[in-house]
Amino acid sequence: MQEKGFDRSRLEFFPVGSRQNKLDAGEVMLGPDSPAPDPGSAAGVIERTAERIVEARRRNAPVVICHGAHLIRNGLGPVLSEMVRQGWLQHIATNGAGSIHDWEFAFLGSTCEDVKHYVSRGQFGMWEETGAHLGRALLAGALAGLGYGESVGRMIVDEGIEIPSRQELGAIVEAGLAGGAGPAARAAAAVDLIEVMERTGLEPGWLKIPHPHSSSSIQAACCREGARFSVHPGIGQDIIYPHPMLSGGAVGRVSMTDFLLYADTISHLDGGVYLSVGSSVMSPMIFEKSISMARNQARRGGNSPEDFLIVVNDLAESTWDWSKGEPPKDNPAYYVRFCKSFSRMGGELAYAGVDNRVFLLNLYKCLVSLS
């Protein structure tokens, strides 16, 4: 059956290798040994954050970072990967663009197209490998019960994707019809994959996808180390959605899996640390739902997360002391939405108004000095 609305089959896609990128991994990537710039007035917040992270890990409480795409574009993937390897981060969350930039760095060694240039030519986002490979990864991941982030991370680590045969998928569908929530959910994912195979001509078998720059990828590092990497996308917001290989069903399944993994982590945040870096909407929005879910569950017995530190890092200037609570409506700080939202969540809130490279490199150095 043809898709309703815009017919994606009529779009022309181009090799991503032919795209002119603004960011090259060799020029922007920062590592654990990169010098940390002077943090200025943010030094106290950074030092306090490092102390709380060390304390959280001693208590076996999680440390979470939720970030926007600019963190990846600024070349901080290797720094976060090292923090994962050293056990300082247990969960990384980002939006769809963060996942895509991380993948393009691993696959291509560069990322970030000129939006104005390519939109004017009807080429913005029309890149074959980015849309097709990520679409396949999400379809295969949904079938395996993985989340969005793990689906992409697994493709990078394995350097390829296995697409089951139609016979295998048919057997999964039959098993799902026999009953049981688990088999039924897997059957639905199998139907999504069958639909894409029929619509696009996707063939079964092993598809080798080399990732020569995988050492830069946070998704790969989390996959290797067993840390959680969740992706929280908005359908239509990222460059992969024009591609016919993108299945709304698969995107929904892997994204819901990731949201529930994220909510589970937040439910254990008591004694932990939450870093919100350059995400003014997505991070506070998913956090507030998750902390409410955790406290709702605690009403039936169990611990409610109350003792935690939230550290917001962004470039916007903030003149309000958030330890005093929410500012009045006649104060401009009231309209700094991300801080205002987090100030309502309980726990302790701190703000570091500094470039994310300055924040994370200094935080890493402080953690090393304390370990």
Rounded Cα distance between 350 and 331, Å, is 18
Q: Would you say residue 1 has pLDDT above 70?
A: no
- Rounded to whole angstroms, the Cα distance separating 102 from 358 reads 20
Of 166 and 303, more confident: 166
d(CA 257, CA 260): 5
Cα gap 200→245, rounded to integer Å: 7
Three-class SS state of 185: helix
Which residues, listed in sequence order, are joined to residue 348 by a DSSP beta bridge?
309
- Residue-wise pLDDT tens digits, 95-152: 999 999 999 999 999 999 999 999 999 999 999 999 999 999 999 999 999 999 999 9
Query: Using CA atoms, how far apart are residues 174 and 94, in angstroms rounded to an integer?
Result: 36
- How far apart (Å, rounded) are the C-alpha atoms in residues 203 and 19? 26
- Residue spans of the domains in the chain: they are 23-164+204-370
What does the chain come to in residues?
Answer: 371
pLDDT, tens only, 275-334: 999 998 999 999 999 999 999 999 988 789 999 999 999 998 777 887 777 888 888 888
What's the CATH architecture for 23-164+204-370? 3-Layer(aba) Sandwich (3.40)
The per-residue pLDDT of the chain, averaged, comes to 95
Question: Average of pLDDT values for 189-210?
Answer: 97
Rounded to the nearest angstrom, the gap between the alpha carbon of residue 225 and the centroid of all alpha carbons in its chain is: 16
Contacts of 180 (CB under 8 A, 6+ apart): none
Cβ contact 176:186 at 8 Å: yes
